[in-house]
């Protein structure tokens, strides 16, 4: 079952990977030739692809529970991405399955730590790489992660992610996208 889920995530992950970052930077990279499945570790799946001919790796997971008073919601995922050619590692993004409320923020809680992220359309990101790295460190040490956001219609959602397998999946992309 998990492997089937991972294969179905390849199509989604390619879409999420290329559409979410472009919302902020406003440019359009060459589309990926292939998204390669690397491995699955518990609730996390590792992938590799190329962006403008450069190697990019990421891990993805879906929430174990989604709460909110909504009637329709798209797919919900978290991604952690390495782009060695840009010297970028541990970029965390949340795709929420709806458009966030304009100028809103998302809170991410792991144990007793809380992080605040900015939103744009259907995606949330950390304000800087220092926060990304702190968030990834907390994810490595935690068991669960709770993400709270508000839709453009004002609906509060709470998504809970398992962090089981996070560290092993992260190590997969650390190896696959080691700086050269």
The percentage of the chain sitting over the pLDDT mark of 90, rounded to a whole number, equals 79
Closest by CA to 56, choosing from 68, 47, 65, 64, is 47
Look at the chain and report how many structural domains it folds into: 1
pLDDT of residue 179: 81
Q: State pTM to two decimals.
A: 0.84
What are the tokens at 175? 């190896």
CATH code, 126:
2.60.40.1880
How many helices and strands (H and E) does the chain possess?
Answer: 3, 11
What are the tokens at 59? 């891990």
Closest by CA to 58, choosing from 69, 46, 70, 67, is 46
The range of the structural domain enclosing residue 139 comes to 2-176
Instruction: Give me the helices (H) in 26-164, please.
Output: 129-141
Report the pLDDT averaged over residues 58-75. 96
């Amino acid at each position: 079952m998990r492997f089937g889920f991972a294969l179905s995530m390849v199509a989604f992950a390619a879409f999420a990977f290329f559409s979410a970052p472009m919302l902020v930077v406003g440019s359009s990279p060459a589309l990926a030739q292939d998204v390669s499945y690397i491995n699955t570790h518990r609730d996390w799946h590792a992938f590799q692809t190329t962006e403008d001919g450069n190697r990019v790796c990421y891990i993805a997971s879906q929430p174990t529970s989604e709460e909110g008073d909504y009637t329709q919601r798209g797919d919900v995922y978290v991604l952690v991405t390495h782009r060695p050619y840009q010297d970028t590692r541990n970029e965390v993004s949340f795709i929420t399955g709806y458009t966030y409320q304009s100028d809103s923020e998302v809170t991410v809680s792991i144990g007793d730590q809380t992080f605040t992220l900015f939103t744009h359309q259907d995606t949330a990101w950390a304000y800087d790489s220092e926060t990304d790295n702190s968030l990834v460190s907390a994810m490595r040490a935690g068991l669960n992660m709770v993400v709270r956001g508000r839709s453009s219609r004002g609906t509060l959602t709470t998504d809970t992610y398992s962090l089981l397998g996070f560290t092993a999946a992260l190590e997969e992309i650390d190896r696959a996208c080691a700086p050269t």
